[in-house]
Structure 1
Amino acid sequence: MNPYRFALASFCVLPTALPVSAQQEAATGAFTLDPIYLDVQFRQETEQEVPISVTSVQSDELKARGADRLDKVLPLVPNANFATVRGGIEASSVALRGISTTAYGADPSVAFYMDGVYVGADSAFDGEMPDLTAVNVMQGPQGTLSGHNAIGGAVQMRTADPEFGVNSTKLTFGVAEHGERSGEIVGNAALGERAALRYVLKRTYSDGWLVNEAGGDNLDSKDTLTGRIKLKAQVTDTWTSLLSYDHSKDKGRRYGFGPLDEVADTRRADSDQPLDETVENEGLSWTNTWDLEAGRLESITAWRHSDSEMHPGAHSTVSPILRYSSRDYEQLSQELRLTGQTDRLDWTVGLFAMKSSDKRGEGIALRDDYDYDYGGTTYTIPAGYGERSRAKIESETLAAYFDGAWALTDRIGILGGLRVSHDKKSIDYNHADTAGNGYSLLALTQDLDLSTSGTFVSPRIGMTWDVTPEMTAYGMITAGYKPAGFVSSFAETSDLEYDRETA
């Protein structure tokens, strides 16, 4: 039996196995699992109490499968899919219930959280995250609590926090096919009775499984280095502070260098100038929690940065086009929330603010003369011709939300929530040929400065019914949204804006 269970869609019946005493188990011969506790609603609840279609993959399952990155976790989740955008490691797309974003440069449709911090760069979705404790995948619109870009759902990835009073070090080594080797160290150090430090460092390397007939290293190789350090302190009896920094560097290569059947059968390809990519991600967060008479106050202040580069390269030797791209993404975010409860009411109020800057560049260059057919006439484009797009997208988001669960009776509950979000986005865009001829063939030559803004209200309302102590049914109506944005690469029109999406 798998050590994780999943909740079904809205209007579902959710049975949960509750623990029994050793005497009961000996008497009945029954085997039961301990309940799994989740904080997807910012409060500790069992899976049975969470009225959301959620799959929680816990630490034991993650370790057993060696799943420390999203592309290894999502295959365990129903109605979930993971794909790389354009085949490389520079951007990833997560699909939940068939809702996703595959357009390069557009915002994601599934919200991604790393240790409680919203991550806006899709180049960070598939990085290694060693020392994982849980991955929670919430399906369907999550417009109230996890409201930004969550029309398909939300993914929460949690890593282990420092443990007070514990001194430990763990070394792990691994080997796999295609010459893959990995090494990982996880340590926990007690700093007195009220503070602790936790650190993790992992290196993974592989030779690649595609022999390059053009010479050089194999293709689809792997070279990653990931590190994280956390410092946790019990400052007072009611104040806990957690400081975290992570950094990762991922260097990979594409492997679609020829007809798929030939590549799969021979494990050989021909590329004299492969598409080499490098992606770096780093983040710093400071989480403070205060236990007050009114409830628990939590503040999460975070900065994240993502830098990626695809060096000039071609899909195959016969391709006359060299492609290249770069991205420099940076965000600052702040979230404040107060969570409390009475005999019959559990409630959360919060504020969320984020500002980001996304600088993108993409271009092509011809390494050979190219015959271009237009209107029945053949034109020869000389080697060295190129085009490139450059864009700087700046975004601001401000949201306020409330969510609560009220026990109408001992067995029937009413749920409700509301999130009001205001988003503002602007783009400074330029497309031109690299030789300065004043014309381009693949996209319009233009220089634009555009902006858009909007406000959206995301409600949630529903009911729960405890059919038995071990079974809960719920019904939920909820909405989510993704704000309007801009196309940022090789635009064929001067109208770069795409509309807001809702679900």
Structure 2
Amino acid sequence: MVGQFKSAFAVGVSIIAMGVALPAHAQDGSADAEPAADTGGINEIIVTSQRREENLQDVPISVSAFTADQVLARGITDVGRLEGIVPGFTFGRSGQDARPSIRGVRTENVGVNGDTTIGFFIDGVYQSRATQATAGFVDVERVEVQRGPQGTLYGRNTFGGNIAITTAQPVLGEMLGGLDVTVGEYGRFRTDAFVNLPVSDTLAVRVAGSLEKSDGWVKNVNPLGNNLFDDDSKYLRATVLWEPNDQFSAAIKFDYSTRGGAGGSAFGYKIIGSYFDVGSRQQLYNGTPVLNLNTRGGNRDGVNDALPGGTATSDLGVPVFAPGDGYTIDTDQKTILDLENKAITANLAYDFGGITLRSITGYTDFGAIRTQDSDFSGNQIAIDYQDTRAETFSQEIQLLSSDTASRLDWVVGAYYFHDELTGVFINQQLPRIIRNVTPNLTLPQNGGGFYDQQRATTESVAFYGQATYEVVDNLRVTAGIRWTEDTKDFAFANANAVLPTSGTPPVPQGTAITLNTGPIPDSAFGAQGAATNCTYTTFPPPRPGFQCLAANTAVLTGATYDTAKFRKATWRLAVDYDVTPDNLLYASVSTGFRSGGFNSGQGPAALQPTFDPEEVTAYEIGSKNRFFDNTVQLNLAAFYNRYNGLQEQRQVPQGGTTLSIIENSGRARAYGGEAELLWRPVTGLEIGANVAYLNAKYTEYDQVPAPFGTSILVTDATQTTPTIVNGVQIAAAGQRRVFAPGYDCGLIPGTGGTGQPAAAFGCDISGNSIPHSPDWTGAVFAGYDIDLGSLGTLTPFAIMTFSSSFFGQPFNSVLEQQPSFQKVDLRLTWAPTDFISIQGFVNNVTDERTINRFVWGGGGALQASFAPPRQWGALLSIRF
């Protein structure tokens, strides 16, 4: 670790030295706002973190913001590019799902049975699906990242913070336009364009759009498959602004986007390996790491596999292709991405003189279809399919004070949200062709497949208010509260090998699950509160609302759960003080929560049909400062967050695949500090850095089953009697139960006894680090506008981001660890005029290969997704 940070420090010093060494006679090319002085200075950025327009430096909240010019100059093309640039913000991704993390809060559940953990807003409208956050930025005005719970002004879906995008609004009375053309590695070609049309003195229209094509940067050597992370996207947005007078404004926005190609698979696309107990040749979590074996179900090639220190005596799977290389795969199924998003947004405001009434309305119709090669190999074994649909409506009404002379600023509001969600997951098992041996093996398919459809509805109502009062000059007190009620309904239907498709009562189809299986009749989902027809004797007992096959009442088809309501009052108290006009101190305590929900009840998930809300209490002190005649900006924050019931995602075996369920951990806490430094000593020279320290751990989290192989039975002649724990036999005579090494594991109380579920084993992982929570993250950057006289300006820009190691799963095992790393991006921009610029860039210059998502899948195989490799390109920008 010391060596890693010495390297990071050396690179950072080099970047700063580059900026300092440049001549000090350049012209300011920044366009965020008017410069503070001809000799340099830091420009203001206006943000809306408190639901009103304010100077970033006056907001007593940890927030980072970037203007349109900074987004372009720094290559912030999507949410993932914010990693490192924003202190304490890390970004994970699986397929098209964004998985950001802030202060120990990460995005785990992206299914229709849960809400996002870190809110994603576009023009004030919440986007309910994690996939919506992976779209590229087009003609944006500003990007804001708020750290810490925003439960008062933004609500239950902002447990860890917010990412807020403000798109560029129409400008009255001006004809404006722009064109950006990007070309780059992997055949990348992207065009972004916008035009601003002044229809009249009171009406303007702004139209923006983009087209992008690129090959995938994960290369598939198998001609039967395709590359991953290609791009075939289209985006169109039209915004109409009407301001008939000084009091009223209305902005109506329509946008439409599609994305096709192969996509990026689903939960992960590369197998890392597994663990085995070498002596017994059984999979045992945290046993001996095996990095070159794909143990997914059905991956058997008739070849005995050698384990470290053991003799080859068992067929345990197939070799991992190009082990450790996250950018090369060998899969034989063509994956598909078919994403479509349609949205309408209306922002209306009327100033009554001292009070402003604002309405924010949003409607979204979203759909995404994704497939992946389920076995992660060049063998024909199985394919997965996901179809996610969301129809979302939200309405927010605000009243805000607008009297700048008053000592009291306030906002009150009401919020309504309705989300209709459908999620389908299909695992289709195929007749097996094992191609990694000669001659190829032809085997029957491995089971009948699996089908799971979930239907979820969320209706949320909230009322909130926040007021800030200046008690004496420069000293302000803020208090806010929000009351939220979430109403959730949930139903599922699934089957293993048989599926009801028609008839009353439903009759089994009698064939294996395929990607074309369906439709499912409503009767398969049962009815809320209705008596069950199920007679199966496995634990747990049948519940009201559960439905089984009429022809075989021991086969569960689905269920409709009782409606659940989650009510919570969240609040914020804060005080801030202007030590000088350029130095602010603040302290706050706030709360946040995220609703509970439901799990599909098939198999092991039936033991945990629901999960509870998670809650946080956050304490923060901070300071925002400008020094040395507005040439140095230093923002500091220290925080302590206390979490209860964090919602954790777990994969449980289900046929030839795994099913994702959610459970609550006990307690956790996170504390740390963040610093952002910006120095502009002269016009055009910018040097900056940020650093974040985070210590995030579970303080109570026990009885947790390992992802696989929590325990195994091995032969032991010395054990002459059965092993009994709490009256339950956990090993027969002549056998010994071995638990996952390195963990405190044992029998879960309440299992294995009469009338109880089968014996289950879990571990106490209290004290483990929360996943995706590196101790140290940060960045160092420098840029300068070099005056070339009549040839314009030349701006070199470099940024080095770094991270200490982190774990990808709660058990913190060695296979789940991403080591420390540094990444360097370089950009060189030539602007011959104020209206034209040409930029060359290289992202991840050293081609650092990092994993940003880990998940344990079927067969005890660790799946991973990698961050992009080194990529170069060029960008032509024209403005008129």
TM-score range, shorter chain: 0.7 to 0.9
1:360 touches 1:488 (CA, 8 Å); kept in 2? no
Distance change in 2, residues 1:111/1:189 (3 Å): same
Once residues 174 and 456 of structure 1 are traced to their aligned partners in structure 2, the CA distance between those partners, rounded to angstroms, is: 47
Counting only pairs closer than 5 Å after superposition, residues 292-441 of structure 1 correspond to structure 2 as 292-311=352-371, 313-314=373-374, 315-318=376-379, 320-340=381-401, 341=403, 343-368=406-431, 382=445, 385-436=448-499
Distance change in 2, residues 1:487/1:346 (3 Å): same
2:371 touches 2:383 (CA, 8 Å); kept in 1? no
Q: Deviations over 1:403-432 (max 9, x none)?
A: 011001112111110001111101011121
1:438 touches 1:445 (CA, 8 Å); kept in 2? no
Amino acid at match of 2:343: G
Once residues 211 and 46 of structure 1 are traced to their aligned partners in structure 2, the CA distance between those partners, rounded to angstroms, is: 46
Counting only pairs closer than 5 Å after superposition, residues 456-471 of structure 1 correspond to structure 2 as 456-471=568-583
SS at match of 1:367: strand
Once residues 73 and 20 of structure 1 are traced to their aligned partners in structure 2, the CA distance between those partners, rounded to angstroms, is: 25
Tell me how far 1:224 sits from its aligned partner.
Answer: 1.2
SS at match of 1:392: strand
Amino acid at match of 2:234: L
The partner residue of 1:492 within 600, 604, 614 is: 604
Tell me how far 1:302 sits from its aligned partner.
Answer: 1.2
Tell me how far 1:472 sits from its aligned partner.
Answer: 0.5
Q: Which residue of 1 aligns with 2:84?
A: 75
Amino acid at match of 2:567: T
The partner residue of 2:105 within 99, 102, 105 is: 99
The partner residue of 1:480 within 588, 592, 613 is: 592
User: Is residue 2:40 matched to residue 1:31?
Assistant: yes
Q: Deviations over 1:193-243 (max 9, x none)?
A: 111110111111112234433216544321111111101011333111111
Once residues 74 and 241 of structure 1 are traced to their aligned partners in structure 2, the CA distance between those partners, rounded to angstroms, is: 34
Tell me how far 1:257 sits from its aligned partner.
Answer: 5.3
Distance change in 2, residues 1:387/1:38 (3 Å): same
The partner residue of 2:239 within 206, 230, 234 is: 230
- Mean alpha-carbon deviation: is it higher for 488-497 or for 347-356? 488-497
Distance change in 2, residues 1:130/1:264 (3 Å): farther
Distance change in 2, residues 1:50/1:467 (3 Å): same
User: Is residue 2:282 matched to residue 1:253?
Assistant: no
Amino acid at match of 1:502: E
Amino acid at match of 1:326: D
- In structure 1, stretches of 5+ residues that fail to align are 3-17, 372-379
Q: Which residue of 2 aligns with 1:501?
A: 614
SS at match of 1:61: helix
- Mean alpha-carbon deviation: is it higher for 412-421 or for 308-317? 308-317
Tell me how far 1:389 sits from its aligned partner.
Answer: 0.5
Q: Which residue of 2 aligns with 1:449?
A: 560
Once residues 383 and 139 of structure 2 are traced to their aligned partners in structure 1, the CA distance between those partners, rounded to angstroms, is: 39
Q: Which residue of 1 aligns with 2:638?
A: none
2:110 touches 2:116 (CA, 8 Å); kept in 1? no
Q: Deviations over 1:145-177 (max 9, x none)?
A: 011311101111111000111112322211111
2:379 touches 2:432 (CA, 8 Å); kept in 1? no
Distance change in 2, residues 1:319/1:64 (3 Å): farther
RMSD (CA atoms)? 2.9
Q: Which residue of 1 aligns with 2:150?
A: 142
Once residues 248 and 601 of structure 2 are traced to their aligned partners in structure 1, the CA distance between those partners, rounded to angstroms, is: 47
Amino acid at match of 1:464: D
1:313 touches 1:324 (CA, 8 Å); kept in 2? no
Distance change in 2, residues 1:449/1:20 (3 Å): closer
2:492 touches 2:600 (CA, 8 Å); kept in 1? yes
Once residues 47 and 429 of structure 1 are traced to their aligned partners in structure 2, the CA distance between those partners, rounded to angstroms, is: 46
Distance change in 2, residues 1:183/1:490 (3 Å): farther
1:481 touches 1:501 (CA, 8 Å); kept in 2? yes
Tell me how far 1:368 sits from its aligned partner.
Answer: 3.0
Tell me how far 1:71 sits from its aligned partner.
Answer: 1.2
TM-score, normalised with respect to structure 2: 0.51
1:128 touches 1:226 (CA, 8 Å); kept in 2? no
Distance change in 2, residues 1:78/1:231 (3 Å): same
2:36 touches 2:43 (CA, 8 Å); kept in 1? no
Once residues 218 and 149 of structure 1 are traced to their aligned partners in structure 2, the CA distance between those partners, rounded to angstroms, is: 34
The partner residue of 1:220 within 212, 224, 229 is: 229
Amino acid at match of 1:202: S
1:390 touches 1:489 (CA, 8 Å); kept in 2? no
Distance change in 2, residues 1:474/1:221 (3 Å): same
Once residues 19 and 34 of structure 1 are traced to their aligned partners in structure 2, the CA distance between those partners, rounded to angstroms, is: 7
2:212 touches 2:231 (CA, 8 Å); kept in 1? yes
2:118 touches 2:161 (CA, 8 Å); kept in 1? yes
Once residues 237 and 149 of structure 1 are traced to their aligned partners in structure 2, the CA distance between those partners, rounded to angstroms, is: 34
Distance change in 2, residues 1:500/1:37 (3 Å): same
1:257 touches 1:270 (CA, 8 Å); kept in 2? no
Tell me how far 1:283 sits from its aligned partner.
Answer: 0.8
Distance change in 2, residues 1:120/1:211 (3 Å): closer
Once residues 592 and 100 of structure 2 are traced to their aligned partners in structure 1, the CA distance between those partners, rounded to angstroms, is: 16
Distance change in 2, residues 1:287/1:88 (3 Å): same
User: Is residue 2:165 matched to residue 1:168?
Assistant: no
Once residues 466 and 195 of structure 2 are traced to their aligned partners in structure 1, the CA distance between those partners, rounded to angstroms, is: 38
Once residues 346 and 364 of structure 1 are traced to their aligned partners in structure 2, the CA distance between those partners, rounded to angstroms, is: 55
- Mean alpha-carbon deviation: is it higher for 47-56 or for 102-111? 102-111
Identity of aligned residues (%): 24
Distance change in 2, residues 1:462/1:220 (3 Å): closer
TM-score, normalised with respect to structure 1: 0.87
Tell me how far 1:383 sits from its aligned partner.
Answer: 5.2
Once residues 283 and 349 of structure 1 are traced to their aligned partners in structure 2, the CA distance between those partners, rounded to angstroms, is: 26
User: Is residue 2:95 matched to residue 1:88?
Assistant: yes
Distance change in 2, residues 1:151/1:383 (3 Å): closer
2:141 touches 2:167 (CA, 8 Å); kept in 1? yes
Once residues 359 and 326 of structure 2 are traced to their aligned partners in structure 1, the CA distance between those partners, rounded to angstroms, is: 54
2:234 touches 2:258 (CA, 8 Å); kept in 1? yes
SS at match of 2:157: coil
Q: Deviations over 1:110-154 (max 9, x none)?
A: 111101111111120111221011111111111110113111011
Q: Deviations over 1:278-312 (max 9, x none)?
A: 22222101111101134111001110121000146
Q: Which residue of 2 aligns with 1:7?
A: none
Name which one, 1 or 2, has greater alpha-carbon Rg: 2
- Mean alpha-carbon deviation: is it higher for 162-171 or for 183-192? 162-171
Q: Which residue of 2 aligns with 1:192?
A: 200
Amino acid at match of 1:347: W
User: Is residue 2:242 matched to residue 1:131?
Assistant: no
SS at match of 2:158: coil
